Chain A
Amino acid sequence: MTQMVLVYNPWRCTGCTSCMIACSYKHYGVLDYNLSNIKISFAEELKRFEAVYCHHCEEPICATVCPVSAIVKDEDTGIVTIDVMKCIGCQLCNVMCPLSVPWFNEALRVSIKCDLCDGDPECVKFCSSRALRFVPREEATALLKEIYKE
């Protein structure tokens, strides 16, 4: 099975934040940036965009460090998920992730991260400029090398 991942192109992003709005609505039924699993930021002085989002790593360190094995990578789809019923809220995954993707949900007292909407990511559907795409991992790697070649 071809494993698909998100890829973000900062040279395409307009900062509309529709991806963040779509993510929070899909998972919580509200429009709240704080509940989004993807974070878009804009550095005004540099006039540059960047995004923090889960890459569903081939060897996810978040899963490795989880003391209760609440984080699992599906070997077929490649999707890394947190079982919120198992999570004890230690936040080790938040700290260990090189991109600090998992975040602590104060209301639920557990760590939360992108689940790729079970393979049909909502954020991508709302990206007018195609800054966010859902592509095979090999294509994503090639695109990222091209984007950050400078």
Chain B
Amino acid sequence: MPEYVAFWGCYIPARMPNIEAASRKVFEVLGVSIEELEGASCCPEPVISKLVARKLWTALAARNIALAEAKGKDIMTLCNGCYETLFEVNHMLKEDAELRNEVNQVLSGIGKKVEGKIEVKHVVEVLGEDIGIEKLKEYVKRPLRSLNVAVHYGCHLFRSAKPDDEDVWKKPRLLEELIRVTEANLVEYGVERLCCGYPARQANVEFSLKNRLHVKLKNMRESNADCIVLACPACYIQFELGQTELRRYVKETFRIPVLHIMELLALSFGISPDEIGIKLHRIPVKNVLEKVKI
């Protein structure tokens, strides 16, 4: 089985230990070795950090990549934002020798160096490609057949090396495949591609909640979704906390549970909800557990 260094990012360890617990359990079951990236910093996040301090964004990401290179293992992220930053900087450092030299001059001050030897992968690639969809099906002990799932891809999941459709849509399609592994019913709600509104919060919170989150939630509810499944903790926080915040702007009340793909997989693998901290959800997932008879 392949080995990876896990890049947990900021949100998962600090605010969503349930995602971390579910991921560790799933990889334990799969026999995938996960190594820690001691000393890792924020990725940093791929919109505002990149916009206001491009060199700092590049150097910090390069430092994280250098830490993984020292271990000789590929990076696996469980966050779309971390994926975009680390993937993009890793790609730039491999392609641009001048940039690599410039970054290495900065990193030499702390005794680090990047050589462009490793890959950055999103967890959906690790599961869907390195392990494989067919192999994953062998581990499903508790099929989630009666569960209606609305998928949310998250914008940064589209980040790719090439601009062709195949590359751009690869990871979103893998996320759908992973949901199908659990035998849950993937509902169509028409605005799957639409952003959750998380990045828009930086410019206009009302727009973010009313023009993005609300639109998604209305369509998800109309499709009879029991829960939302995604692969990004930033989208997760927007959906979980946003449903409460939205009450400031609209009269409707939404309480649709939100699950990270690793939590959905953990439940389908027969792992106990208590073992993965399912009670830590801000929007209870009780209806989800009842529907799949856990």
Give chain A's interface residues, CB within 8 Å of chain B: 12-18, 20-22, 24-26, 31-33, 42, 44, 47, 122, 125-126, 128-130, 133
Output the least CB separation between B252 and chain A (Å).
15
**Cβ of B25 under 8 Å from chain A:** no
Interface string of B227-267 (1 = CB under 8 A from A): 00000000000000000000000000000000000000000
CB neighbours (8 Å) of A20 from chain B are 203
Contact with A along B189-226 (1 / 0, CB 8 A): 01101110001101110010001100100000000000
Q: Which residues of B contact A13 (CB under 8 A)?
A: 193
Q: Check B155–A31 contact: CB distance below 8 A.
A: no
Q: How far apart are A39's CB and chain B's nearest CB, in angstroms?
A: 13
Instruction: Name the residue of chain B whose CB is nearest to the CB of A31.
Output: B203
B212 & A15 in contact (Cβ 8 Å cutoff): yes
**B211 and A42: CB pair below 8 A?**
yes
Whether B158 lies near A130 (C-beta < 8 A) is: yes
A sample of 9 inter-chain contacts (CB < 8 A) reads A14-B153, A14-B155, A17-B200, A18-B47, A22-B51, A42-B211, A125-B50, A130-B163, A133-B163
B137 within 8 A of partner (CB) = no
Chain A residues with Cβ under 8 A from B193's Cβ?
13-14, 129
Q: Please measure, in the bound complex, the distance between the C-alpha atom of A17 and the C-alpha atom of B202, giving whole angstroms.
A: 10
Across the two chains, which residue of chain A brings its CB closest to B80? A128
Query: Closest CB-CB distance, A105 to chain B, in whole Å?
Result: 18
CB-based nearest A residue for B52: A25
> How many residue pairs bridge A and B at CB < 8 Å?
72
* Shortest Cβ distance from residue B248 to the other chain A in the assembled complex, whole angstroms: 20
> Which residue of B has the minimal Cβ distance to A125?
B50
Given contacts A42-B211, A44-B215, A128-B84, contact A15 B194 (CB under 8 A): yes
Q: How far is the CB of B210 from chain A (nearest CB, A)?
A: 11
The CA of A113 and the CA of B202, in the complex, are separated in Å by 23
Taking A25-B52, A33-B203 as contacts, is the C-beta distance between A129 and B168 under 8 angstroms? yes
Q: Is B159 at the interface (CB under 8 A from chain A)?
A: yes
Q: Which chain B residue shows the least CB distance to A129?
A: B158
A12 and B168 contact, Cβ closer than 8 Å, known pairs A17-B200, A21-B51:
yes
Which residues of the partner chain B approach A129 to less than 8 Å between Cβ atoms? 155, 158-159, 168, 193
Instruction: Compute how far the CA of A26 lies from the CA of B50 in the bound complex, rounded to whole angstroms.
Output: 12
Contact A21 B160, CB 8 Å, known A14-B194, A126-B50, A126-B51? no
